[in-house]
Structure 1
Amino acid sequence: MSGAEKLVCVTGASGYIASWLVKLLLQRGYAVKASVRDLTSPVTFTPTDPQAELIDPALKGTLNVLRSCAKAPPKKVVFTSSMASVLFNGKRLTPDTIVDETWFSDPDFCEKSKLWYMLSKTLAEDAAWKFAKENGIDLVTINPGLVIGPFLQPTPSMSVEIILNLINGGGQTFPNTVYRYVDVRDVALAHIQAFEAASACGRYCLVGRLAHISEALNILRELYPALSVPEKCEDDKPPMQVYQVSKERAKTLGINFTPLEVSLRDTVESFKEKGFIKI
């Protein structure tokens, strides 16, 4: 590659995934131009004003970047989406269900269910695809699940905070929830592979392991016996069903998913290193 071809722009570069992406790009010899959003406006799962706090920033931020791309078309645009824009359509999930890139969340279902974060991600990805098609932009989307693993920023991201709150709670119950875990380093690498591979196109679901939160807590209990890990579920309902997420397209990017045990261990080591827990 020439010097010009080794130049990339990373938006939201202070974020959890993007900071790892910048690190890996620099290690590969890329020159990186980075932009950041207002550091005082983090994403939330529980907005008081969903339109102003989640939906508008997601849509406007996405389209602002793509409009800039339309003026000076880059080689390729890799858009960080989410499994939130894949899964939430009201379909029944069973152990035999295989979720893949053909699935799209339904905005009406998300709105009726007050799934505001899922709605914002769904609308943003939909807008990105429409704009890219209308303006001839080569777009790829990466759709990760719950991103965990070590963090480079001084404070943990929203996804990693889920783990921190569970192990910092001191005997709290845990939610009856199934999470779609993926390591942040795998997500960052997938962005680079999608950018570099001429054949990469469309969407890529990234879920290394799908497991009930109790399974992750059991792993943490074994790794760190001194941790105060909750042992009781917050309700008496049957455990949420585990389904399947296809890894076929992720494999075409050369992604070999980091084991959940490694991701959880490295997450906790980051908490220790940055002073969020003492064990």
Structure 2
Amino acid sequence: MNCGGKVVCVTGASGYIASWIVKLLLLRGYTVRATVRNPTDKAKTEHLLALEGAKERLQLFKADLLEECSFEQAIQGCDAVFHTASPVKYIVTDPQTELIDPAVKGTLNVLNTCKKTSSVKRVILTSSTAAVLVRPLEPNDVVDETFFSDPSVCTELKLWYPLSKTLAENAAWQFTKDNGMDMVVISPGFVIGPLLQPTLNFSDGFIVDMINGKNPFNCINYRFVDVRDVALAHVKALETPSANGRYLIDGPSMMTIYEIRETMRELFPDLCIADMNGESEMKDIMTKEIIYEVCVEKVKNLGIEFTPLKSSLTDTIISLKDKCLL
């Protein structure tokens, strides 16, 4: 694949999904400008600088979501921008400051810079199924790209992370529509798979919780999607001229927490999987379960073939062990 020496920017580049996007872009010959909050923090940058092609084609830039114009230097002269930077946490004391402002203002900051930078032809925004699923769902609903979370339901249930992703995505669509910009949105579900960064991220932390006998979401049914598939969907969204609108990328099939734990036992007989404790640590997360289908046909049309769950789980656990996070 020849990307013609294109220059692209990835915001929040040290994050879990973003690191994989950077890795794929470098492997495909792109020059990557990666923004991080602190380029001198080795825990955030060392794994990026070690990637194949990084020496020749990776540049790090300091940028902060809440600082206007702080992305200008990184985005100047880029052909496309991947905006992944947004805080991911479910337990917060001040949702507005910790989640909503960085998500919404940060997205508008980046888009505003893209609007002023004539070289930028397309923006790829990382959203989430959190901006899709928090709404009244009926059993056997088939969830697709037309589903949006309802901010009032998010607020009522105190689901601040879904609220931040929903408001940020809504603001992005409004802004790009008003300014005639080309934006594609990728909305991943629960992402697992090997880590490039040295620290535990939110969703792989959930696998660690399961092994330790916890179920923070207090749910029975889960879907998982592989981080490598999610990263590839982002890159394909840039490389496919006809790509448009939103793309849901979630595990095509649902598994119960018991089946997941059983699978992990099968794959790693030596892994000590603790007994489940029934205590939910997150009282505010929805526990009423609706079994729904997810339509992933649109993202398959980008050329995404889903990694089997067993492979994702195997690679996640090997990676967690390698990084001494288990």
For normalisation by structure 2, the TM-score amounts to: 0.78
The verdict on how the C-alpha distance between 1:131 and 1:172 changes in structure 2, with shifts beyond 3 A counting, is closer
Deviation of 1:241 after TM superposition, in Å, equals 4.2
- Please list every run of 5 or more consecutive structure 2 residues that lacks an aligned counterpart in the other structure: 45-85, 280-286
Aligned Cα root-mean-square deviation (Å): 2.2
- Is 1:66 aligned with 2:66? no
Deviation of 1:198 after TM superposition, in Å, equals 0.8
Deviation of 1:3 after TM superposition, in Å, equals 4.7
Higher relative contact order (CA 8 A, sep 6+): 1
Match of 1:54 among 92, 99, 103: 99
Between the aligned partners of 1:131 and 1:195, the Cα distance in structure 2 is 19
- Is 1:80 aligned with 2:126? yes
Between the aligned partners of 2:182 and 2:200, the Cα distance in structure 1 is 32
- Is 1:212 aligned with 2:287? no
Code of the residue aligned with 1:100 in structure 2: it is D
2:3, 2:29 within 8 Å by CA — same for their partners in 1?
no
- Is 1:266 aligned with 2:315? yes
Q: 3-state SS of the aligned residue for 1:35?
A: strand
The verdict on how the C-alpha distance between 1:37 and 1:212 changes in structure 2, with shifts beyond 3 A counting, is farther
Code of the residue aligned with 1:149 in structure 2: it is G
2:8, 2:33 within 8 Å by CA — same for their partners in 1?
yes
Code of the residue aligned with 2:135 in structure 1: it is N
Q: 3-state SS of the aligned residue for 1:166?
A: helix
- Matched residue, 1:17: 17
Deviation of 1:137 after TM superposition, in Å, equals 1.0
Between the aligned partners of 2:148 and 2:196, the Cα distance in structure 1 is 31
The verdict on how the C-alpha distance between 1:165 and 1:108 changes in structure 2, with shifts beyond 3 A counting, is same
- Matched residue, 1:188: 231
Between the aligned partners of 2:316 and 2:31, the Cα distance in structure 1 is 28
Question: Between Structure 1 and Structure 2, how many residues are aligned?
Answer: 270
Match of 1:178 among 210, 221, 243: 221
Between the aligned partners of 1:239 and 1:110, the Cα distance in structure 2 is 14
- Stretch of structure 1 that moved more, 39-48 or 97-106: 39-48
Deviation of 1:232 after TM superposition, in Å, equals 4.1
Between the aligned partners of 1:48 and 1:12, the Cα distance in structure 2 is 23
Deviation of 1:234 after TM superposition, in Å, equals 2.1
Q: 3-state SS of the aligned residue for 2:153?
A: helix
Between the aligned partners of 2:127 and 2:317, the Cα distance in structure 1 is 26
- Matched residue, 1:164: 208
Between the aligned partners of 2:300 and 2:3, the Cα distance in structure 1 is 28
- Matched residue, 1:89: 135
- Stretch of structure 1 that moved more, 223-232 or 179-188: 223-232
The verdict on how the C-alpha distance between 1:239 and 1:110 changes in structure 2, with shifts beyond 3 A counting, is closer
- Matched residue, 1:276: 325
Between the aligned partners of 1:255 and 1:271, the Cα distance in structure 2 is 25
For normalisation by structure 1, the TM-score amounts to: 0.90
- Matched residue, 2:8: 8
- Matched residue, 1:106: 150
Between the aligned partners of 1:240 and 1:122, the Cα distance in structure 2 is 21
- Please list every run of 5 or more consecutive structure 1 residues that lacks an aligned counterpart in the other structure: none
